[in-house]
Amino acid sequence: MNRWSLASRVLTNVAPVLTHFSIRSCCAAAAASSAASLSPCNKPSSLPKKARPAPSVSSKKTKKKPTKKAAVSRVPFISCGKRRPKMRIAIVGCGHGALDTIYETVQQSEAETGIPVDLVLISGDFQAVRNTSDFRNLAVPPKYRHLGDFNKYYSGAKKAPYLTLFIGGNHESSAYMWELYHGGWAAPNIYYLGWANVLRFGDLRIGGTSGIWNPGNYIKSHYEVAPYDSNQLRSIYHTRMFEVAQLTLYNKPLDLFLSHEWPRDIALYGDLEALKRKKPFFKEDILSGKLGSPAMQHLLHHLRPSYWFAAHLHVGFPALVPHASTPSKKPIDLRHFKHTPQFTHATRTKPVLDPSTVSLDSARVTPATRPDATHARVTRFLALDKCLARRHFIQFLDLPNHTPGPLAYDRDWLAIVRATTPYLPLGPEIIAPSLPSLDDLAAQVADARKWLDEHIPDDTALQVPVGSFEMTGPLHLHGDPPGEWRELAWKPQRNPQTDAFCAMLGIECKINQDGIPHEEYQRANERLVERIRGGGGDARGGGRIGDGGG
């Protein structure tokens, strides 16, 4: 594999309150990767001399002949004194199927710093393509369709070396993702958050929602049925009001939140001019208020997480979003978002904050606070690039006040799911029925919480079952697979994980109700694979199964 010399991003801290957000660049070489660190500290920090990038082994001063491998420079990570962080998380922008590169990057950072990474988060465009038949439900132009790395992790040929959580974007294997609407293991050790979710990792609360904004589909139901036609192929990943309402009902402090699309007007909270220099074609959308999602803007100001990470626009961009000490008393308008901060054409020409406090070159940034009882007063936002050479696609986040632990369901989120699932808008009626008021839904959520406390009183029972992953689609077949295999792969089926999740909550499973039962699907797939292995039927390309080659 080629090795690329890349720019590393390091965030350091100096102030006791959240007023600055910055990134310092330094040179590093990593295996097809970009490395970064966001390290909360209590003291002013500066880059020590010995932590500066080491000279390349192939520099002019070196007498040795340059090798084929690129020199690996020391990546400077700012630590919290001599104490290692209790938790380190790697956050990635658009994944685009490059799991091997992502994991190699994380391993590179561990080798450079000696600090283990506990969790990997990916902010959409994950592309969980299991086989070539998934291209049928992947919203990507044909010339950009490629199998990627995921099929190897799905088949078991490889196992993810880190617990990995991801959300969906606008380039996903949507039929497979829909099977896991409530969330579930897409492959061993790789967990999809679903259309909306809040999970616990140790004492950390992580929220997220999949998809991107489209005003025409926001109030619609989930009417799409695989295999999708050309319109459904795109509407399937558009944000719906139902999931926004679910997240609006969540009232506990969040540590991290993942979205694929940026919140609307987030550009005004960072270095606006620097963003326009990088992406000059953003200017008109910024001025018109079309850059970003109004639904994500609402959730940003309503949920007020400590950190918010996004991707989608393929550019690194930090921002600081201050919040009022008391929540707004304006009625929440989930249709038109009139309660969100309103900016005019004139006010969108200047940033909300002084750009010098939100700089890509300054070394100043403030420590994170642990929101045990209250929501964060400031949200630190960071958009990340796609997984390519010399791009800021990964960020390492140190959380010294948190401790890793098993992945678990969040009790308050489960109450919301139990209370709202009866209203999940499905079926041929494209326009979704009106939801009850948020006050009425909140009362139902309170009742659902009581049910959970009675039926699942032990928090250990809320741990996500590690061994519950089951393959629900064919493995990748080499050569030209038969049409019968493709027809089977395209059919919706019920996912055992989704069935088990709904059974745990005592609710009806509405996802792929008319789909093929898992056992029947597996039997049909096994019969077909045996025919292909034996050279019978329509197996024109042979039919070796399971090692995930291209």
Residue reference for tokens 């996802």: 511
φ and ψ at residue 88, rounded to 5 degrees: -130, 130
Tokens representing 316 are 């690194």
In sequence order, which residues have a C-beta less than 8 Å from that of residue 298 and are 6 or more positions away? 244, 248, 332, 334, 337, 339, 340
Q: How far, rounded to the nearest angstrom, does the alpha carbon of residue 226 sit from its chain's CA centroid?
A: 23
User: 190-192 and 184-187 as β-strands: parallel, antiparallel, unpaired?
Assistant: antiparallel
% helix / strand / coil in the chain, to the nearest 5? 30, 20, 55
Tokens representing 212 are 């991107």
- How far apart are the C-alpha atoms of 425 and 240, rounded to whole Å? 10
Residue 433: cis peptide before it, omega within 30 degrees of 0: no
- How far apart are the C-alpha atoms of 173 and 510, rounded to whole Å? 20
Task: Give pTM, 2 decimals.
Answer: 0.82
Residue reference for tokens 């890349």: 6
Residue reference for tokens 């909550």: 505
- How far apart are the C-alpha atoms of 221 and 256, rounded to whole Å? 28
> Which whole-number Å values give the CA distances from 470 to 43, 133, 191, 212, 492, in the listed order?
48, 18, 12, 28, 15
Outline where 197-336 has alpha helix (H).
232-235, 241-248, 272-278, 283-288, 294-303
**Structural domain boundaries of the chain?**
4-50+70-413
- How far apart are the C-alpha atoms of 425 and 457, rounded to whole Å? 30
pLDDT tens for each residue of the chain, 550 residues long: 333 323 233 332 222 222 223 332 222 323 333 333 343 332 223 323 333 333 333 333 444 443 333 222 222 233 333 467 789 999 999 999 999 999 999 999 999 999 999 999 999 999 999 988 899 999 999 999 999 999 999 999 999 999 999 999 999 999 999 999 999 999 999 999 999 999 999 999 999 999 999 999 999 999 999 999 999 999 999 999 999 999 999 999 999 999 999 999 999 999 999 999 999 999 999 999 999 999 999 999 999 999 999 999 999 999 999 998 877 788 999 999 998 988 887 788 877 766 666 543 332 333 333 334 468 899 999 999 999 988 999 999 999 999 999 999 999 999 999 999 999 999 888 999 999 999 999 999 999 999 999 999 999 999 999 999 998 887 787 766 667 667 777 888 899 999 999 999 999 999 999 888 888 878 877 777 777 666 544 333 323 333 333 3
Residue type, 179: E
- How far apart are the C-alpha atoms of 53 and 55, rounded to whole Å? 6
